[in-house]
Amino acid sequence: MSLSQALPEALRECRAVQVLERSIQQNRLGHGILLHSSNLEAIEPIVSAITTELLGTERDPFLHPDCFTLRPSGKARMIKIGSESERSQGEWPQNSMRRLVIDIQKSSNQGGRKVGIIFEADRMNRQSANAFLKTLEEPPPGTTLFLLTTRPYDLLDTIRSRCLNFRVPDLEDAFQNPAWQDWTHQYRQWLSRILQGSNKNSVNHLIFGAYGLNARYQQLLKELTKAAWTRQKEKLPENISSNEKDALEVGISRSFRKQLLAEIERLTLEYAREVEMLNPGRLPTNALHRVIQTLEHTAGLLEINFNQVAALELFFLKSLRIWSSVRST
């Protein structure tokens, strides 16, 4: 079975799959491959299919003795290098960069190729990244290293430059979710009510509307994460630790959150353009710019683990203030 045939139909025609499939057929697959997408669920089927092909296995490729994986762990969701205090009988701890590097350097268990996979590679700290870079610069023969991430530009430039880079489209479009479609309709209605003008009574409705949008957003994010995590758990290796599972679930939530925030920005820009077409000069450019800046600031707060509900509340209430000031001029 070819690589593309082993993948979901939505991924078969993407450039990454086509190039990688040709490379495998011509035996010219690079030693370092960086795959990035807004959702890790789109990347894993590709890596799984390639690993299956390279290792010549019919079982779960991630359980093959010549497949070595590394994932974020702990509350901080970091990929750690592994400390001396964690060594046991001369062995570095499982799920540490030092352990991965040593395993990769060893001879193949079954005399064939070896595969190393770093999930959420952007979570490498400086020590881990530097340790991995040395292996990437001088990879062992017959070894392919995969880096999976939703934030490719958080990786060291020296790591990105030594990998073939491919962007993978989302496997599943969260924005086709009926609940999200309903949310976007309510968001547009909320913006319309602000710009239509209000009195003292309607201001309260607009504020409550902001809180309602936030509550529904949080619920939708929770539901998307739960559904994706349920699917993901079925594919995880049996020996994965609880810390790794916790980190992976949080990563899925953050991935969806990033997508939804980007979609809110698109919706806001789209709505503003429509208003401007119907009423030229109605929305000053600086007001729209301030709203988008507020959304970007919100995204920044979330990246440093600011309370998610409070951060979105801040965005909606500041947006209300900015658009209301435009309405009153």
Domain boundaries, the chain: 4-167, 174-327
**Cα–Cα dist 228/233, whole Å:** 9
- The residue written with tokens 């690589």 in the block is 3
pLDDT tens series, the chain, 329 aa: 567 777 767 677 777 888 888 888 888 888 999 999 877 877 888 899 899 989 998 888 988 999 999 998 877 788 988 877 777 766 788 888 999 999 999 988 888 899 999 999 999 999 999 999 999 998 888 999 999 998 888 899 999 999 999 888 765 555 667 888 899 999 999 998 888 766 666 788 899 999 999 999 999 999 988 988 888 787 777 777 888 888 878 888 887 888 888 889 888 988 888 877 777 766 667 888 899 999 999 988 988 889 999 999 999 999 999 988 875 55
Do 82 and 96 contact (CB within 8 A), yes or no?
yes
| Global confidence as pTM | 0.64
Edge-to-edge strand list for the sheet holding 32-36: 67-70, 114-118, 143-149, 32-36, 164-167
- The residue written with tokens 């005399």 in the block is 111
Q: Tell me, what's the pLDDT at 2?
A: 65
Q: Tell me, what's the pLDDT at 73?
A: 84
4-167 falls under which CATH superfamily?
P-loop containing nucleotide triphosphate hydrolases (3.40.50.300)
Classify burial at 82, counting beta carbons within 10 Å of its beta carbon; exposed 0-12, middle 13-18, buried 19 or more. Answer: buried
Q: How would you label 210-222 residue by residue, b for 16+ Cβ within 10 Å and e otherwise?
A: beebbebbeebbe
**Cα–Cα dist 287/244, whole Å:** 43
Other CB atoms within 10 Å distance of the CB of residue 165: 15
What's the Cα-to-Cα distance from 301 to each of 187, 308, 312, rounded to whole Å?
22, 9, 10
Do 32 and 165 contact (CB within 8 A), yes or no?
no
